[in-house]
Structure 1
Amino acid sequence: MIRSFFLSPEQQQSRGLSLTEIGRVRDSGQGLLWVVLDRPDQAELLTVLHDTFQFHPLSIEDCGNEGYQTPKVDDYGEYIFLISHALLPQNQDLADLEMRELDLYLGRNYVVSIYRSAEMPPVERVWNRLEKDDRLFKNGADFLCHALLDALVDDYMPLIDSMDDEIEWLEDKVLEKPSPETLQRILALKHATLSLRRVIGPEREVVNRLSRDEFDLIAPNHRIYFRDIYDHLVRIQDLSESVRDIVSGTLDIYLSATSNRLNEVMKALTIVSTIFLPLSFIAGVYGMNFRYFPEINWQYGYLYVWLLFAVIVIAMLLFFKKRGWF
């Protein structure tokens, strides 16, 4: 699906432009044009990106790639091509964390956004704000690009907060009673931090390049807005590093607690086995089938053996208690 928004130099707004009108606006270099490609097929990609905007084939190939691509920014002179990743809100479950790619073209008077997921919350929020916030289209294409990236980065913070809450719960659960379910949640949280760090690091470098004077398409007075996004990403990356360290510590605590529980079980079994060793020896001695056995005809022999068993058990328990073994 193709959506478009255009603000003319006379401040007149229009939506749903045809491809011919989009090409005319692009060639004129006037006004502000925003084109959104929502789950485009290959034909739409080629028609809009190649035929209408005449973008470089390598960038178009990146837009059609279904696999994971590292966030990056490429300068093609007349326009900038960006790859970023957004967090889908319905997948903020740490066991099923999922990122979706958002591709952006930034030109003199246009922004083209492409995504292939069922929804892209940052794009939808900015699109809905067009009618309420005129800064989005009155400050140029670079400010609109900033708004999209800012909305994308803002979705990372709730995930970090949920990670903090999850860690607090896991630490209490690990100390209280570690279980396989706890281990699964720890590993899910660790996987989520790794997935987040894989995106945030390159994303930060992309925004860092946009915040410097490297690209002429970004106005000097708008670079401070990209620096603000960069500061947010630095903070998010620092928090994710802290979360990763805490998760690793929690995993170590879980393994240590599990090992201690196993040691307690083995100690109890060892004590029981040690107590039964002399009892088994005595029972084996008196169970031998010799013809002449001094105690075999003793009237109190059976009681004597049980008293001997009791004395040995009590003596060993007192010995273990004195040594602090239980």
Structure 2
Amino acid sequence: MAKRKHRKNQNLLTSPGTLTYVGPDIDLNTIVTRIQYNKEFYREEQLTGKKDIEDFLSFSHPGTVNWFDVNGIHNAAIIAHLGKTFKIHPLVLEDILNTIQKPKMEWLGENSLFIVLKALSYRVPESGPRKKAPGIESGMEVEHICFVVQPGVLLSFQEEISEDAFVEVERRLKTSVGKTRSNGLDYLLFSLIDIIVDHYFLVLEKLEERLESIEDEIMKGSANYKLGDLYGLKQDLTVMRRCVLPLREMLLDLMRDESGFVKPEVEPYFRDLYDHAIQVIETIEIYRDLMASLVDVHLSSMSYKMNQVMKTLTVFSAIFMPLTFLVGVYGMNFDNMPELHLANGYYIVWAVMIVTAIGLYAYFKWKKWT
């Protein structure tokens, strides 16, 4: 996934339900993949571009789960056609096309629901002396993911096609590995959300590594980090928290639902997924607290270094003050100064100044002021 800043929301001030893609420009074609399966049967078809998809959508094998994976939501025409075919409400389609839509879940009817999630990945920014550009460095990459679930059908929508977020689930279905082929639509939804949550843990691992690296640099007093590194990491944690926190309530709503969408044999998997989501949220909070502590340590370290500099300058000033007094006294233009006529007066003054400087320095050392 490529990290880009989203452009401004272009569907503002338009009629509700207007299908306008809100997100970064993408040159790649939208790919629609249909996967049908049950315990004994598996079929996968793929359509690229804006071809007629009526025949593609019409084929149905009895007793199978139908999964339509749309990779690349920037093609509003294909999204609109899918919405018409599956009778998806225009407001739902509008949220699918809006990549800045926050995570949420809505029940559209009995055994029908709409889910918005954010898939996360992370690249560690360059830091230290090799960093090319100064400022706040953020490595969080966010991808817009949507699910529309209807009886017997699940549609998944991914923001871009450079990296398929669900390739691991597709591999399990092809090889008939695990429980995915043996269960129904509820288990497929669990598998897809579980993949997204697993990536949250991968992101947390990289954030932990970066956090430990910055912490080591701060504790060693190294100059290979900047305050922008800390605030970049804080920004990443804030983005992740905003993406993950709503998942807790979504999973609770799914497990509390009495319509029977989540079958009893699949419910333990959702409970386990809920535990994982709670673990991710708690870890984020721990890292945020540690991040705040590191900022305080950083500022304290900077203050300590400044105090050390000021202490050194103060010691030198204290040593040179009596010396300045001596040279000021003997620099006055008076004739009646007995010391001026001593043969060794010059050397005596130097000796007094040296002894005074050494004495003051020894006193400061004894007091542990240096």
TM-score by length of 2: 0.79
Q: Name 1:239's counterpart in structure 2.
A: 283
Alpha-carbon distance, 1:163 to partner: 2.7
Deviations 1:163-197 (A, max 9, x none): 33333333332221232625443333222222211
- Residue 84 of structure 1: SS of its match in structure 2? strand
Alpha-carbon distance, 1:297 to partner: 2.3
Q: Name 2:106's counterpart in structure 1.
A: 74
Q: Name 1:2's counterpart in structure 2.
A: 32
Q: Name 1:45's counterpart in structure 2.
A: 79
Alpha-carbon distance, 1:265 to partner: 1.4
Q: Name 1:61's counterpart in structure 2.
A: 94
Task: Give the alignment partner of residue 97 of structure 1, picking from 125, 130, 140.
Answer: 140
Contact 1:101-1:115 within 8 A present in 2 as well:
yes
- In the alignment, the residues of structure 1 paired with residue 211 and residue 270 of structure 2 have an alpha-carbon distance, to the nearest angstrom, of 31
Q: Name 1:185's counterpart in structure 2.
A: 229
Q: Name 1:199's counterpart in structure 2.
A: 243
Task: Give the alignment partner of residue 154 of structure 1, picking from 162, 180, 198.
Answer: 198
1:1-326 equivalent positions in 2, closer than 5 A: 1-7=31-37, 11=41, 13=43, 15-16=45-46, 19-21=53-55, 24=58, 31-40=64-73, 41-49=75-83, 51-67=84-100, 69-78=101-110, 79-88=112-121, 91=123, 95-133=138-176, 135-179=179-223, 181-326=225-370
Alpha-carbon distance, 1:214 to partner: 4.6
Q: 1:241 to 1:9 in 2, by over 3 A?
A: closer
- In the alignment, the residues of structure 2 paired with residue 77 and residue 237 of structure 1 have an alpha-carbon distance, to the nearest angstrom, of 30
Q: 1:119 to 1:225 in 2, by over 3 A?
A: farther
Moved more, 96-105 or 6-15: 6-15
Structure 1 counterpart of 2:121, one-letter code? L
- In the alignment, the residues of structure 2 paired with residue 88 and residue 21 of structure 1 have an alpha-carbon distance, to the nearest angstrom, of 36
Identity %: 29
- In the alignment, the residues of structure 1 paired with residue 77 and residue 309 of structure 2 have an alpha-carbon distance, to the nearest angstrom, of 66
Alpha-carbon distance, 1:245 to partner: 1.6
- In the alignment, the residues of structure 2 paired with residue 96 and residue 189 of structure 1 have an alpha-carbon distance, to the nearest angstrom, of 8
- Alignment gaps of 5+ in structure 2: 1-30, 126-136
- In the alignment, the residues of structure 1 paired with residue 303 and residue 44 of structure 2 have an alpha-carbon distance, to the nearest angstrom, of 67
- In the alignment, the residues of structure 2 paired with residue 290 and residue 284 of structure 1 have an alpha-carbon distance, to the nearest angstrom, of 12
Structure 1 counterpart of 2:195, one-letter code? A
Q: 1:36 to 1:308 in 2, by over 3 A?
A: same
- In the alignment, the residues of structure 2 paired with residue 204 and residue 95 of structure 1 have an alpha-carbon distance, to the nearest angstrom, of 25
- In the alignment, the residues of structure 2 paired with residue 25 and residue 110 of structure 1 have an alpha-carbon distance, to the nearest angstrom, of 13
Contact 1:210-1:223 within 8 A present in 2 as well:
no
Structure 2 counterpart of 1:71, one-letter code? P
- In the alignment, the residues of structure 2 paired with residue 14 and residue 308 of structure 1 have an alpha-carbon distance, to the nearest angstrom, of 96
Contact 1:87-1:155 within 8 A present in 2 as well:
yes
- Residue 189 of structure 1: SS of its match in structure 2? helix
Contact 1:34-1:111 within 8 A present in 2 as well:
yes
Contact 1:3-1:16 within 8 A present in 2 as well:
yes
Structure 1 counterpart of 2:161, one-letter code? A
Structure having the larger proportion of residues in helix? 1
Q: 1:46 to 1:291 in 2, by over 3 A?
A: same
Deviations 1:58-103 (A, max 9, x none): 1100011132x221100110520000111136x3658311111110
- Alignment gaps of 5+ in structure 1: none
Q: 1:116 to 1:167 in 2, by over 3 A?
A: closer
Q: 1:14 to 1:116 in 2, by over 3 A?
A: closer
Q: 1:304 to 1:175 in 2, by over 3 A?
A: same
Deviations 1:179-221 (A, max 9, x none): 2625443333222222211111112221221122255433233
Q: 1:219 to 1:161 in 2, by over 3 A?
A: same
TM-score by length of 1: 0.89
- In the alignment, the residues of structure 2 paired with residue 295 and residue 37 of structure 1 have an alpha-carbon distance, to the nearest angstrom, of 98
Contact 1:84-1:101 within 8 A present in 2 as well:
yes
Moved more, 309-318 or 142-151: 309-318
- In the alignment, the residues of structure 2 paired with residue 263 and residue 223 of structure 1 have an alpha-carbon distance, to the nearest angstrom, of 60
Q: 1:323 to 1:88 in 2, by over 3 A?
A: closer
- Residue 220 of structure 1: SS of its match in structure 2? coil
